[in-house]
Amino acid sequence: MQTLGSREVYANSWMTVREDAIRRPDGSRGIYGVVDKPDFALIIPLDERGRLHLVEQYRYPLGLRRWEFPQGTAPDRAELPAGELAARELREETGLRAGRMEELGMLDVAPGMSSQRGRVFLATELTVGEPEREHEEQDMRAAWFSRAEFEAMIRDGGVTDAQSIAGYALLLLHERRQGQ
């Protein structure tokens, strides 16, 4: 696939949208609409009792409040090192600080339409502090859940965030490798 040209059709502080003219391997032409967003970090806070810390916020495109793991990007489409971004998002959204942060894997959000990728981190050895939420996160809530509660929320539609569910799968695979 060859990119013949590209034009930005929209931009704001969180994303850009571009339209690329392409040539396929057979020579035919087409277009791709691409949403460019900076890479994100998703953090799975896990305490010594085996509980998971989730945040709940209103997701405007869905018109619903959703529970999910803390996650996000740097402001103004900035790119930060993944570990630094993970620590920042954890602190901002939950007030938690991790004594240990371990990368579990990478996720592609919607590779058919977006360039955004994310790294998943396991945060342990947690200490509690005050959240430092951004203005858009002012209605955010946070709570601890047992794994059984979290899995029931996935089954019952209380957790539908694809990144959170995929991140949990990475956690389970990590624990299986560790023999836990």
pLDDT score, position 46? 98
| Higher per-residue pLDDT: 170 or 178 | 170
* pTM assigned to the model: 0.91
**Measured at the alpha carbon of residue 42, what is the angle toward residues 40 and 44, in degrees to the nearest 5?**
170
CB environment 64-80: b (16+ within 10 A), e (fewer): eebbbbbbbbbeeeeeb
Please, are residues 154 and 146 in contact by the beta-carbon 8 Å criterion? no
pLDDT score, position 180? 65
pLDDT score, position 131? 81
Confidence of residue 148 (pLDDT cuts 50, 70, 90): very high
Kind of pairing between the strands at 40-45 and 117-127:
parallel
pLDDT tens track for 97-138: 999 999 999 999 899 999 999 999 999 999 998 887 776 777
pLDDT at residue 140 above 90?
Answer: no
Cα 176 from Cα 180, distance rounded (Å): 6
Confidence of residue 73 (pLDDT cuts 50, 70, 90): confident
Please, are residues 134 and 75 in contact by the beta-carbon 8 Å criterion? yes
| Helix, strand, or coil (residue 115) | coil
Cα 154 from Cα 159, distance rounded (Å): 5
**84's torsion region: left (phi>0), alpha (psi -120 to 50) or beta?**
alpha
Confidence of residue 60 (pLDDT cuts 50, 70, 90): confident
Please, are residues 64 and 142 in contact by the beta-carbon 8 Å criterion? no
Amino acid at the residue 27? G
pLDDT score, position 14? 87
Amino acid at the residue 164? S
pLDDT tens track for 1-56: 999 999 999 999 889 999 999 999 999 999 999 999 999 999 999 999 999 999 99
pLDDT score, position 7? 97
